[in-house]
Amino acid sequence: MMHLKETELCLGLPGGGCEADTALKVTGKRGYSQTVDLMLNLQTNDQSSSTDLNDNKLQNSTKNNKDPIKPPAKAQVVGWPPVRNYRKNVMAQKSNNEETEKVVAATAGGGSVAAFVKVSMDGAPYLRKVDLKLYESYQQLSDALAKMFSSFTMGDYGSQGMIDFMNESKLMDLLNSSEYVPSYEDKDGDWMLVGDVPWQMFVESCKRLRIMKGSDAIGLAPRAMAKCKNRC
Amino acid sequence: MFPEEVLEHVFSFLNSHTDRNTASLVCKSWYEMERWCRKRVFIGNCYAVNPRVVIRRFPEVKSVELKGKPHFADFNLVPEGWGGYVYPWIVEIARAYPWLEEIRLKRMVVTDECLEIVAKSFRNFRVLVLESCEGFSTDGLAAVAANCRNLRVLDLRECEVEELSGHWLSHFPDSFTSLESLNMACLGSEVSFSALERLVARSPNLKTLRLNRTVPIEKLSTLLQRAPQLVDFGTGAYSAEIRQDVYSRLADAFSRSKNLKSLSGFWDVTPAYLPAIYSVCSQLTSLNLSYAATRSPDLTKIVSQCYNLQRLVVLDYIEDTGLNTVSMSCKDLRELVVFPSDPFVGEVDVLLTEQGLVSVSQGCSKLQSVLYFCHQMSNSALISISKNRPNLTCFRLCIIEPRVPDYVTHEPLDVGFGSIVENCKQLTRLSMSGLLTDRVFEYIGTHAKNLDMLSIAFAGDSDLGLHHVLSGCDSLRKLEIRDCPFGDKALLANASKLEKMRSLWMSSCLVSFGACKLLGQKMPGLNVEVIDERENVNSLPEYVPVEKVYIYRTVSGQRFDTPDFVRIMGKDKDDLFSDKGLKVAVLFCSNFGTFRPCCCTRSRSL
């Protein structure tokens, strides 16, 4: 049975529940930068470095006393580091190919070597890496991803830890929603929904992870089901 | 008084725009003389002046160069639809300069209609350079190819082109033989290889050929053989299954390219094919391997043979060891660019540190220009670099994590950057990063007297920082700031300075609506553009900081092609952001002085 918790994207600080509404009021726009802020440990107001500039050249100037009106949270990490779009796209592809080599080397060398894969989440400007060998089930992976991406959870995977692909209507409901689903790129270069194969098989074939909107993942389902049918 | 012919002859030796501008200010007759014989016009901000004014002053122009969006548009800080439309310019110059030969545009919105006008209006059109432009498709290119009989240069640098088909290249007629330079590296679609080959074969003056990714490595040797006179070559995707025959042909073709001085491209590199270029390495003055995602040993092997290299663009895969080799082998190096291979991932598994840059600064005595991305820096490294290379003119350092201190002492990097501006007296361009307080700005204001362009991010403590820069940097023309606690006081106190600069960009700072309005009211020579996309923007009180403000000097007053999220402050009575809707560009009809509204041709519909 497939149970995927409400994965409504909450763009507030972790542990604080859904604060997207609050963020909206302040900025009028999504405030995901607040979340990313925390992950990067950006401190806008704490860098009170020593400035022994007693010669105050500016008349009537008071040192900026960390104004209560903060600048809008938006755009704090947009455009940083200053690398142009086409370069980002190119390198993302390149790193992907590199990752393949790493994972292949790892699994070829023996079971104890790490299996790092990149995890991206649509909308977040930073990627993370996870070592799949650290986990023993989809549930554990889900918990780790939840910690990494704050409010994202994958919910329960049932006793075998697999999405019930046979329940087509439930699957389609999920994929039609704006909730987030995890997908992965396998050895063949295909993008699949996470949870369709037994855990060990997943660890060995997963090259990278991408947490994407359900509606974007809609194209994956038929492929996933076909592959599953071929394997089962 | 010199007779006109003598003056004209003297002026013909003045090529730089600044020299010509200065000469034109000497006296009225020099002004008149100069304006009639100026052939090349450079406008650094397309909104600083009206095209008709330019045309009225310079009637005999052969080359026009325009820049549009601010630099931070490169990093997605300028929202789509902000402006920078070249259409009004194209319409005017098409009418006024039928013998125009060259157009160079940077960060502008260029539509297919613009390209069609260009293609049909200038009988002797020779040079089209579009850098970081967008808004056109391959259809526009087809029009240029089909109609510009005397075209010499078609250079598309890092443009965003709508790819309808690769067929545009086939529109160059068989009678077209004047091509000297073709740069299509930014295009994604495949062109007909036979059309490309025939074009290359019938272009005896072709010196620059930069292919796009779709041209396979197997075909490179064919092209190189057709054009042994090539000086600047950009490969396509540099990968294939390893085949001895393909490799040999390629290596052979490179070895015969005796004139080759510049190489680029190298997407999707298969390392085994890299040695094919070894035979030309010692000839190269410019090498761009910034798409070659291959490890340090491969890269090092190449650069170790590039004894004459002046410009190197590479990824951080080169690592400190590779840069050490550069410092020992590339003694003529003038410019070093190191891009990050993985800008957005937290973990670092590439061994490129500040050490690499220090080595190059030690070994390469002619090094003038640096753009360097890394993860750590120290004051002592910066001090060493500044002492090694006092001849630096451009120093751009990006430490990837914002606000990172000296990794050894954990102090801010003020002293390090201070040393750079103090020792490098010819520094004209500086970009800083890492943990920086107001102190570094004091150093900059005190020492950086030749600084022309400064980029600041996540730095400073107070308005004092901004004040130091604006009051101290005598030569400053372009200042761009993001995410710094700079606000109203420094800005307003230095309002008159802003008229001596081309532009100031501030985003995610503490400049309020009220201050922007005041500045716009008090300074008629400035456009103070507030760029703010918040839905509730019209109801925000005046003391709230704006999202972004772009201030530039202009003699043409406010512009009328702004989208709803841009507001030019201090000019209207109501001072409100307008409703969403199609904005019209207002063009003055030059003969009758009446308004003739026409829709601004947009790249994307609203």
Counting DSSP H helices and E strands in chain B, the numbers are: 21, 25
The mean pLDDT of B412-438, rounded to a whole number, is 98
The amino acid that residue B131 corresponds to is E
Contact A53 B545 (CB under 8 A): no
pLDDT of residue A193: 85
Q: Pick from A74, A94, A125: which is nearest to B344 by CB? A: A125
Residue A137's identity, in one-letter code, is: S
Which amino acid belongs to residue B477?
R
- Say whether B508 and A72 touch across the interface (CB within 8 A): yes
The model's confidence at residue A140, banded by pLDDT at 50, 70 and 90, is confident
CB contact under 8 A, A49 and B543: no
d(CA B36, CA B58): 6
Pick the residue from chain A with its C-alpha nearest to B74: A84
The model's confidence at residue A163, banded by pLDDT at 50, 70 and 90, is very low
Indicate whether A95 pLDDT > 80: no
User: Confidence class of residue A122 from pLDDT cuts 50, 70 and 90?
Assistant: confident
Q: Report which of B537, B533, B578, B531 is spatially closest to residue B551, judged by C-alpha positions.
A: B531
Nearest to A71 among B186, B509, B536 (CB): B509
pLDDT at A119 exceeding the cut of 60: yes
Residue pair B421/B477 in contact (Cβ under 8 Å)? The answer is no
Nearest chain A residue to B466 by CA: give it. Answer: A58
As a dihedral over the C-alpha atoms of residue B75, residue B77, residue B80, residue B85, rounded to 10 degrees, the angle is -80
Over range B405-427, report the average pLDDT. Answer: 98
Q: At what angle do helices B379-388 and B414-423 cross, to 10 degrees?
A: 10
> Least CA distance to A50: which residue of chain B?
B437
Chain B residues with CB inside 8 Å of A76's CB? Answer: 483, 508
Of A148 and B464, the one with more pLDDT:
B464
Residue B267 identity (one-letter amino acid): W
Per-residue pLDDT at A185 exceeds 80: yes
Instruction: Give pLDDT, residue A219.
Output: 65
Report whether pLDDT(A70) > 60.
no
Cβ-based contacts of A78 with chain B (< 8 Å): 75-77
Chain B nearest-CA distance from A91, in A, is 6
In angstroms, the CA B63 to CA B104 distance is: 8
Mean pLDDT of B190-215: 96
Chain B residue whose CA is closest to A29: B534
CA-to-CA distance for B156 and A82, rounded, in angstroms? 21
- In this predicted structure, the answer to whether residue A154 has a pLDDT above a threshold of 60 is no
d(CA B196, CA B210): 12
- Tokens (6 digits) for B118: 């260009």
Tokens representing residue B90 in the block:
């194209």
Half-sphere exposure of B265 (CA within 13 A, CB side): 29
Q: Return the closest-CA partner of residue B372 out of B384, B364, B383, B382.
A: B382
CB contact under 8 A, A91 and B341: yes
At the topology level, CATH places domain A116-213 in Ubiquitin-like (UB roll) (3.10.20)
* Beta carbons of A47 and B347 less than 8 Å apart: no
B256: pLDDT strictly greater than 90: yes
Report the residue of chain B nearest A23, measured CA to CA: B534
The reply to whether residue A126 touches residue B344, judged by beta carbons under 8 angstroms, is yes
Categorize the per-residue pLDDT at B598 as very low, low, confident or very high, splitting at 50, 70 and 90. very low
Query: What confidence score (pLDDT) does residue A188 get?
Result: 80
Mutate to test the interface with B, among A30, A34, A80 (most CBs of B within 10 A): A80
- How far is Cα A165 from Cα A196, in angstroms, rounded to an integer? 7
Phi, psi of B156 (to 5 degrees): -105, 100
- With a cut of 80, say whether residue A53 has pLDDT above it: no
Spatial distance between the Cα atoms of B518 and A172, rounded to a whole number of angstroms: 56
| Cβ within 8 Å, pair B158-A90 | no
* Beta-bridge mates of residue B433: none
Q: Which of B72, B342, B403 sits opposite A95 (nearest CB)?
A: B342
**Among B502, B557, B489, B478, residue whose Cα is nearest residue B524:** B557
Distance CA A71, CA A142 (A): 34
CB contact under 8 A, A29 and B534: yes
Chain B residues touching residue A48 (CB < 8 angstroms): 461
A173-182 mean pLDDT: 67
Cβ contact (<8 Å) for B435 and A126? no
Q: Is A149 buried (19+), middle (13-18) or exposed (0-12) by CB count in 10 A?
A: buried
Residue of A149 and B75 predicted with greater confidence: B75
**Chain A contacts of B73, Cβ < 8 Å?**
none
Whole-number pLDDT of residue A34: 37
- Determine whether the interchain pair A83/B339 forms a contact, defined as Cβ–Cβ distance below 8 Å: yes
| Separation in Å, CA of B251 to nearest CA in chain A | 25
**Mean pLDDT on B176-194:** 96
pLDDT over 70 (residue A120): yes
State the greatest distance between any 2 C-alpha atoms of chain B, in Å, as a whole number: 74
Q: What is the pLDDT of residue A170?
A: 62
- Which residues of B fall within a CB distance of 8 Å from A63? 461-462, 464
- Out of A47, A60, A81, the one facing B435 most closely (by C-beta) is A47
What string of DSSP letters covers B548-562?
A: EEEEEE-SS---S--
Tell me the pLDDT tens digit for each residue of B289-339: 999 989 999 999 999 999 999 999 999 999 999 999 999 999 999 999 999
How confident is the model over B373-413, as pLDDT tens digits?
999 999 999 999 999 999 999 999 999 999 999 999 999 99
What stretch of H or E contains B386?
helix B379-388
User: How confident is the model over B13-47, as pLDDT tens digits?
Assistant: 998 998 999 999 999 989 999 999 999 999 999 99
Chain B residue closest to A82 (CA)? B75
**A63, A80, A125: residue with CB nearest B462:** A63
Residues of B in contact with A67 (CB under 8 A): 485, 487, 510
CA distance A103 to A24: 41
Q: What is the DSSP string of B41-74?
A: EEES-TTSS-HHHHHHH-TT--EEEEE-S-GGGG
**Stretch among A56-70, B354-368, B453-467, B496-510 having the lowest mean pLDDT:** A56-70
Q: Which of A49, A89, A98, A121 is the best mutation test for B, with the most CBs of B within 10 A?
A: A49
A58–B485 CB contact, under 8 Å? no
pLDDT in tens, B50-62: 999 999 999 999 9
Is pLDDT of B277 > 50?
Answer: yes
Q: Which residue of B75, B464, B547 is in closest CB contact with A58?
A: B464
Minimal CA separation from B389 to chain A, in Å? 25
Provide the pLDDT confidence category of residue A7 given band limits of 50, 70 and 90.
very low
Q: Of B78, B284, B341, which is closest to residue A94 (Cα–Cα)?
A: B341
- Beta-strand relationship, A180-185 and A208-213: antiparallel
pLDDT of residue A226: 57
Whether residues A43 and B268 touch (CB distance < 8 A) is answered with: no
What letter represents residue B314's amino acid?
V
B457 pLDDT higher than 70 = yes
- pLDDT by residue (tens digit) across B111-129? 999 999 999 999 999 999 9
User: CB-based contacts of B482: which residues, under 8 Å, 6+ apart?
Assistant: A75, A79, A80, B72, B77, B456, B457, B458, B505, B506, B507, B508, B509
Which residue of A42, A75, A98 is in closest CB contact with B507?
A75
Q: Measure CB to CB from residue A28 to each of B293, B534, B545 and give the nearest one.
A: B534
- Residue A112 has a pLDDT of 44
Amino acid identity, position B206: L
- What is the rounded average pLDDT for all residues in chain A? 58
> What pLDDT is attached to residue A54?
35
Cβ-based contacts of B186 with chain A (< 8 Å): 86
**3-state SS track over B253-307:** HHHHCCCCCEEECCECCCHHHHHHHHHHHCCCCEEECCCCCCCHHHHHHHHCCCC
Q: Higher model confidence: residue B338 or residue A184?
A: B338
B36 backbone dihedrals φ, ψ, rounded to 5°: -75, -25
pLDDT higher than 50, residue A69: no
**CB-CB: which of B346, B373, B439 is closest to A126?**
B346
Q: Residue range A122-138: average pLDDT?
A: 78
From chain B, the residues in CB contact with A58 under 8 A are 463-464, 467, 489-490, 493
Q: How many residues are present in chain A?
A: 232
Instruction: Using a pLDDT cut of 70, give the percent of chain B over it.
Output: 93
Q: With CA atoms as reference, report the closest residue to B226 among B199, B244, B248.
A: B199
Q: Which residue of B has its CA nearest to A80?
A: B75
Domain ranges in chain A are 116-213
Instruction: Show residues of chain B in contact with A50, CB under 8 Å.
Output: 437
Q: What is the pLDDT of residue A22?
A: 38
How many A-B residue pairs are in contact by the CB < 8 A criterion?
163
Residue spans of alpha helices (H) in chain A: 20-27, 32-40, 85-109, 138-148, 168-176, 199-205, 220-231
